[in-house]
Structure 1
Amino acid sequence: MKVAVLDINGKDTGRKVELSKEVFGIEPNNHAVYLDVKQYLANQRQGTHKAKERAEITGSTRKIKKQKGTGTARAGSIKSGLFKGGGRMFGPRPRNYSFKLNKNLKRLARKSALTMKANDKAIVVIEDLNFEAPKTKNFTSVLKTLGLENKKSLFVLGETNNNVYLSSRNLKGTEVVKNSELSTYKILHANSVVLFEGSLEGIEANLSK
């Protein structure tokens, strides 16, 4: 698949790049995508939720009423979850929600996500750029020329570029990552995936293994 390379002004440079069929043209595996997204979201959970149970409540330990003859159910402690102010029964406890996935499956999921974006014509390739200083207005002008001003977009760098990254950090709905930081969730979450020309080699090298 050939894609035109755009310049910083959103105009066609007259050059085209070939997107690897092994990465951008496979048969998407929906289940692999589901598992990878599920793992990503699970890893974002802190798992610090906690409710006090019966043994952790401060309260009297005396038997609150006699065992028999009241006509109601027996009750031995005011800290029971049946009473107001008592402990919570089977409440949430701290836990780790993360789980592991096979590397090949994660690689397949990312290739599937990129293929879906390619099929939807949602992948844009632009020339590598650099800013003399980190300024949000510089990155905003790039979004305007690409028609992405009010859309969720993911920009993929070939290598670390602090000026470009810092220029985008304050913009809601826009994220800049290196090719090694690509995730299935981030690809699918964006309306458009913008690949800097220098990132293609790294993406194809990482996912063609």
Structure 2
Amino acid sequence: MKVAVLDINGKDTGRQVNLSKDVFAIEPNNHAVYLDVKQYLANQRQGTHKAKERAEISGSTRKIKKQKGTGTARAGSIKSGVFKGGGRMFGPRPRSYSFKLNKNVKRLARKSALTIKANEKSIVILEDFNFESPKTKNFTAILKALDLVNKKSLFVLGGSNNNVYLSSRNLKGSEVITSSEISTYKILNANQVILLESAIEGIESNLSK
């Protein structure tokens, strides 16, 4: 699967890279994609929600009326959840929403996501670049050249590059990650996935295991 390599000005360099069919042209597995996205979103939840139960409410514990003869339901403490100001019955408690997912399933999900983007012609191969210093306007110029302004874009680098990362940090619709940080959610959430040449080998190596 050959794809043209563009420069930072959006022009064809005349070179092509061969993307592995085992990573970018498989039969997508929608259920694996669903599970991997579900796990990613679950891991983002803090799980710090808490409501006070009747044991945690300040108030008297005396029995508010006699057990029988009132013609109404039995009632004990005023802190019961049936009364205004009482504790919450079956309220939320702090918990972790994370769950385990088999590595092979996650690998299949990411290959499926890349395949989906490849089928949509939403993957761009960009030659490696660097900035002398972090400047947002330099990164914005690349977005304009690639027609990615006001679009969600995911740039995948071969390795960490602080200048490029810091240059993109203030731009809401763009995200810069390394090849080892790709996730199914991030791939599918972007309108365009921009792979730097140096990132391709790392992606294929990680997902072909």
For residues 11 and 186 of structure 2, the distance between their equivalents in structure 1, rounded to whole angstroms, comes to 26
Aligned residue in 1 for 2:194: 194
Task: For 1:104, give the aligned amino acid.
Answer: N
For the residue of structure 2 that corresponds to 1:14, the secondary structure is strand
Query: Where does structure 1 differ by over 3 angstroms across 4 or more consecutive aligned residues?
Result: none
Aligned residue in 2 for 1:107: 107
- Structure 2: segments with no counterpart, 5+ residues: none
Task: For 2:32, give the aligned amino acid.
Answer: A
For the residue of structure 1 that corresponds to 2:65, the secondary structure is coil
Q: If the length of structure 2 is used for normalisation, what is the TM-score?
A: 0.99
Aligned residue in 2 for 1:69: 69
Aligned residue in 1 for 2:184: 184
For residues 89 and 127 of structure 1, the distance between their equivalents in structure 2, rounded to whole angstroms, comes to 59
For residues 198 and 72 of structure 1, the distance between their equivalents in structure 2, rounded to whole angstroms, comes to 75
Task: For 2:135, give the aligned amino acid.
Answer: K
Give the CA deviation at 1:28: 0.3
Give the CA deviation at 1:134: 0.2
Give the CA deviation at 1:173: 1.2
Q: Give the 5 Å matches for 1:19-30.
A: 19-30=19-30
CA RMSD of aligned residues (A): 0.6
Aligned residue in 1 for 2:3: 3
Give the CA deviation at 1:71: 1.3
Give the CA deviation at 1:88: 0.4
Task: For 1:25, give the aligned amino acid.
Answer: A
Tell me the matched-pair count. Answer: 209
Aligned residue in 2 for 1:84: 84
Percent same amino acid at aligned positions? 83
Aligned residue in 1 for 2:143: 143
- Please tell me whether residue 204 in structure 1 is matched to residue 192 in structure 2: no
For residues 153 and 201 of structure 1, the distance between their equivalents in structure 2, rounded to whole angstroms, comes to 20
For the residue of structure 2 that corresponds to 1:108, the secondary structure is helix
Give the CA deviation at 1:66: 1.4
For residues 105 and 173 of structure 2, the distance between their equivalents in structure 1, rounded to whole angstroms, comes to 28
